[in-house]
Structure 1
């Protein structure tokens, strides 16, 4: 914008930091879909297992009282199996977060940091040039 000299460093720089720019990126949309899909499946498995246990307890007491070994009945084994089921769901959640979510979040976080740094540098540059323009005004 001046008369010759080097061009300003932000003429072709990264786009300004928009708080909603990350949410419009395909990686973020894919992340949300993947996380939502996993949440629906995990919830369905956990609630389905518990509902199956409750329904069997209510409508098939003879089946639930079937002895398996000593005092261990099928109902007691299925009840203890609820803890195993919750452990498996939590383990799957941790694996999903570690493999599917965390890498994408790290990339998006780096992108946001880059945009914020560029915006700060752009604002500092504009503040410096604005003070010079006021200092050297034309008549």
Structure 2
């Protein structure tokens, strides 16, 4: 199964999405930490009432994670699930064919006397 082109495509798509999602999540968090550390005056800027830019960007981390999870679900539904279904069908077919070959072959010690 590991040599099947569909399996390789599945692994490549899953890996590429994982790298992009991780880069987005870590990049967003790193940006927030760096801005908080090196530009505190910007992060303390009031947007309205008690709401600051830093608090807004901090809450934006939750939004970023939500978007990444949503994109993962969409990616999984559109790119991964169809390939997995095809690979499962192929594996079941190969397993049934192997079972049929084993069932049709004479077994050792199976002597029929007429």
TM-score interval, smaller chain: over 0.9
- Which of 90, 96, 107 is residue 69 of structure 2 equivalent to? 90
1:4 matched to which residue of 2?
A: none
How far apart, CA to CA, are the structure 1 residues paired with 2:16 and 2:70? Answer: 16
| TM-score of the aligned structures, taking structure 1 as reference length | 0.77
2:112 matched to which residue of 1?
A: 135
Q: Are 2:26 and 1:43 aligned?
A: no
- Which of 52, 65, 70 is residue 73 of structure 1 equivalent to? 52
How far apart, CA to CA, are the structure 1 residues paired with 2:85 and 2:24? Answer: 29
Question: What are the ranges of 5 or more consecutive residues in structure 1 without an aligned counterpart?
Answer: 1-21
How far apart, CA to CA, are the structure 2 residues paired with 1:32 and 1:127? Answer: 39
* SS at structure 2 position matched to 1:68: strand
How far apart, CA to CA, are the structure 1 residues paired with 2:59 and 2:85? Answer: 38
- Deviation beyond 3 Å, 4+ runs, structure 1: none
Normalized per residue, the structure richer in helix is 2
1:125 matched to which residue of 2?
A: 104
Deviations 1:31-57 (A, max 9, x none): 111110000000000000000000000
Q: CA deviation at 1:58?
A: 0.3
Q: CA RMSD in A?
A: 1.4
How far apart, CA to CA, are the structure 1 residues paired with 2:5 and 2:91? Answer: 15
- How many pairs does the alignment contain? 112
1:108 matched to which residue of 2?
A: 87
How far apart, CA to CA, are the structure 2 residues paired with 1:30 and 1:116? Answer: 22
User: Is the radius of gyration larger for structure 1 or structure 2?
Assistant: 1
| TM-score of the aligned structures, taking structure 2 as reference length | 0.93
